[in-house]
């Protein structure tokens, strides 16, 4: 495993936030707790889970937008640290969920896309800068006339394209896509998904594709990682995860997808999970999923299951599988 060179290699990543005030009220929120995965050049890893499971925090921490509490991130074989992270910024970029709040309303499109070019000094003449911006706009399906307009003049889908163009400006090799289509209507969502796919094919970019919509994630990804309460509970090839989930959580998650097909819907058996996700401030001891799991036993209460490889490339964290 370790000899193989991965583009992104995350090992034992932890991100704890301290919440509450004062000395006595201080609580530790384990948003990400010991997460490891790899992503190869030009590959897409899907990351799914429900709200509060830590999937967004994983994306941000691995980019050092938050300082990790523990763990290492290797990019192209080199260890990323707080000191040298600026050297990696050109290679690792992010596209955010909300195309409204992630674009500065006082900047024109060319300012927004030009900013990374300015910061990384990626042009020598003004003309070159303008050409590059026009090129980027065309690449994401907008046209160069859009450059002098402001973000509010665009629809949600177009704004997301601007966000993508900004990420692409520095020719990254890896992009964290944090719920990039969740805020969009179905017909627009499909346009943006295709844009991501085209760019990957053309430019060979690797994606960490974070989303809660399993249909979108399985469409985009080669492999999928499923998170629950700060941990990865299952990781493996997308097709296998969807067709034969192993972890009880993945199993119910997949059975819960409303299928856009009346015939499937009629014959489907939903595995309904009892109750809600526990608060990450009061994490259950042992397996974090045991409070909602129908297979839970004493063992699950006592010790936390580690990720084990139970079939080639498939890792599951469950005592009973």
Partner 1 sequence: MSEMPLLQVKNLHTSFFTDAGEVKAVNGISYNLDAGKVLGIVGESGSGKSVSAYSVLRILTDTGRVTEGEVLFKGENILEYTEAQMQKFRGSRISIIFQDPMTCLNPTFSIGSQLREAIQIHTDRNKEEVQARALEMLQLVGVNEPEKRLKQYPHELSGGMRQRVMIAMALACEPDILIADEPTTALDVTIQAQILELMQDLQKKMGMAIIMITHDLGVIADMCDEIIVMYGGKVCERGTADEIFYNPRHEYTKGLIRSIPRISEKHERLVPISGSPVDLLNLPKGCAFASRCDRAMKICLEQPPEEVVVNDFHIAACWNNVKQMMEEAKDGENA
Q: Write out the residues near partner 1 by the rule CB under 8 A.
A: 50-51, 155, 157-158, 185-191, 193-194, 197, 212, 214-216, 218-220, 242-243, 252-253, 255-265, 270, 272-273, 275-277
Contact predicate 204/171, CB 8 Å: no
Q: Which is nearer to partner 1, 77 or 262 (CB)?
A: 262
**Enclosing H/E stretch for 19:** strand 8-19
For the CB of residue 222, give the shortest distance to partner 1 in the complex, in Å. 10
For the CB of residue 230, give the shortest distance to partner 1 in the complex, in Å. 16
For the CB of residue 142, give the shortest distance to partner 1 in the complex, in Å. 12
Q: Which is nearer to partner 1, 38 or 158 (CB)?
A: 158
Q: Which is nearer to partner 1, 21 or 187 (CB)?
A: 187
Contact predicate 49/20, CB 8 Å: no
CA distance 315 to 37: 11
CA distance 158 to 288: 40
Residue with tokens 């990039």: 180
For the CB of residue 127, give the shortest distance to partner 1 in the complex, in Å. 31
* Order of strands across the sheet that contains 8-19: 27-39, 8-19, 70-75, 78-80
For the CB of residue 231, give the shortest distance to partner 1 in the complex, in Å. 17
CA distance 196 to 217: 12
Q: Which is nearer to partner 1, 5 or 270 (CB)?
A: 270
Q: Which is nearer to partner 1, 13 or 29 (CB)?
A: 29
Number of other residues whose CB lies within 10 A of the CB of residue 242? 17
CA distance 44 to 47: 10
């Amino acid at each position: 495993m370790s000899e193989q060179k991965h583009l992104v290699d995350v090992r034992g990543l932890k991100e704890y936030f301290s919440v509450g005030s004062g000395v006595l009220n201080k609580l530790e929120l384990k948003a990400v707790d010991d997460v490891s995965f790899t992503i190869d050049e030009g590959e897409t890893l899907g990351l799914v889970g429900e709200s509060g499971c830590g999937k967004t925090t994983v994306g941000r921490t691995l980019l050092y937008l938050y300082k990790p509490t523990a763990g290492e991130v290797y990019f192209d074989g080199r260890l990323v640290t707080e000191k040298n992270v600026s050297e990696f910024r050109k290679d690792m970029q992010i596209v955010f969920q909300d195309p409204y709040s992630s674009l500065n309303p006082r900047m024109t499109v060319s300012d927004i896309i030009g900013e990374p070019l300015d910061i990384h000094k990626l042009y020598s003449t003004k003309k070159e800068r303008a050409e590059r911006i026009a090129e980027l706009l065309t690449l994401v399906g907008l046209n160069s006339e859009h450059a002098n307009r402001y973000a509010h003049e665009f629809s949600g889908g177009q704004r997301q394209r601007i966000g993508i163009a900004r990420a692409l400006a520095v020719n990254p090799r890896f992009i964290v896509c944090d719920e990039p289509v969740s805020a969009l209507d179905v017909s627009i969502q499909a346009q943006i998904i295709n844009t991501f796919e085209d760019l990957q094919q053309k430019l060979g970019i690797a994606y960490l594709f974070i989303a809660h919509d399993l249909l979108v994630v399985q469409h985009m990804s080669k492999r999928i990682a499923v998170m629950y309460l700060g941990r990865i509970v299952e990781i493996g090839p997308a097709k296998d995860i969807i067709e034969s989930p192993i972890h009880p959580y993945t199993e119910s998650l997949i059975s819960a997808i409303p299928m856009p097909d009346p015939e499937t819907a009629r014959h489907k058996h939903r595995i309904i999970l009892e109750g809600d996700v526990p608060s990450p401030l009061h994490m259950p001891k042992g397996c974090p999923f045991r409070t909602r799991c129908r297979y839970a036993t004493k063992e699950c209460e006592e010790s936390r299951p580690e990720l084990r490889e139970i079939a080639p490339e498939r890792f599951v964290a469950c005592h009973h599988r």
